[in-house]
Structure 1
Amino acid sequence: GLVPVVTHVTLQMQSDAIEPDSPVSAPGAGNGGNPVNPGDPPVTTNPPPPVDDCINQGGCGTQPQPPGNTCPIPIVANLNADALFGFDQAALQPAGMEALDQLIRNTNGRAYDTLTVTGYTDPIGTEVYNLDLSRRRAEAVRDYLISHGLRVDYLNVVGAGSADLVVRQESCPGMTGVALQNCYAPNRRVVVELTPKGSP
């Protein structure tokens, strides 16, 4: 959410304040040659105004939110696919379900405009297989989120396969089998993006 913040700044100069044609510390050109001490910054005991709707916050849609509600913010979650599914699997595991449940809780019941789920694999295997696996994983995440209460207007599912690698082959020299799988683990991920209503 958004939190109104009021600050006062006191600047301490590291050198003397010198104005044109005037000795140091003498009245100079500023304020017509008559510098005035502005005094202490104003102090208020009034609390910051409540954020009653998203219209006043700019870019959060055109419909007022319930009193006391704030604008939803974009959410981007980079989820480890091995924790969600297990290696080379597309069926959600209990730990993966808990991670998705937490993501749903983070939305606080707010409705979002767009959900985009992008699945990625490591480069082991063929491109065709990896594209299919990454899409099935993305679809499984989408289905779970929607069936467990996530509120969105639009859905995007992308199977990106081994595109956009986090760990490249040259980072795992000479590795095979389980060692190579472990080295490539950061590549196996599902990225969930939630875009708020009214975002540009």
Structure 2
Amino acid sequence: MDNVSVITVFTLSGLRDIANYRVTLFVLTLLCYCVIWLVNLTIIVTVIVDKKLHEPMYIFLCNLFCINALYGSTGFYPKFLSDLLSSFHHISYEGCMLQAFIMYSFSSCDLSILAVMAFDRYLAICRPLHYHSFMTMRRLSQLVCFSWLTPFCIFSINIPITSRVKLCGINIQRVLCPDWLIVKLACPEVKSNFLML
């Protein structure tokens, strides 16, 4: 345990074998990232501007596909694009934790928004006469807040727990930092404690 150093940087080794295709991958990835931003911002502005689209289903779709897609893609693409241009693929410890938080909360937000959308459709189909009295703007905003805050609260607990783990390695064999790969780099005595939990 005495020879464990404090790790401040991780090496991402998922892009080792693409040296010949870096420029092509960079251009395609940048194009994809720009299209994601353009399409999602267009949909968000359309839903905001058009008063006919101020219905619960459109607001949920805007949250699910547009705002959450922008959030998740911003957590991944900028670092990935910079890694495609550089020969060294490093990420700081804090950056790795932030990326893990964004990726997990992004995917959990997708699931929670889908669950809220399913509830909305259940009300619209099974209780059509009560739908508008139940699905008010106040209730809609509560459901949207629930679908965003629940994943953030869950992973606000998960990431600090992971950050306390003593690590014995720095090589992550991916292009991003998932939480479980950080735990895999833990020292053997720490891994045994995680297995017991």
| Structure possessing the higher relative contact order (Cα contacts under 8 Å, 6 or more residues apart) | 2
Task: Point out the structure with the larger strand share.
Answer: 1
Q: What TM-score do the two structures reach when normalised by structure 2? A: 0.28
Q: TM-score, normalised by structure 1?
A: 0.27
Which has the larger share of helix?
2
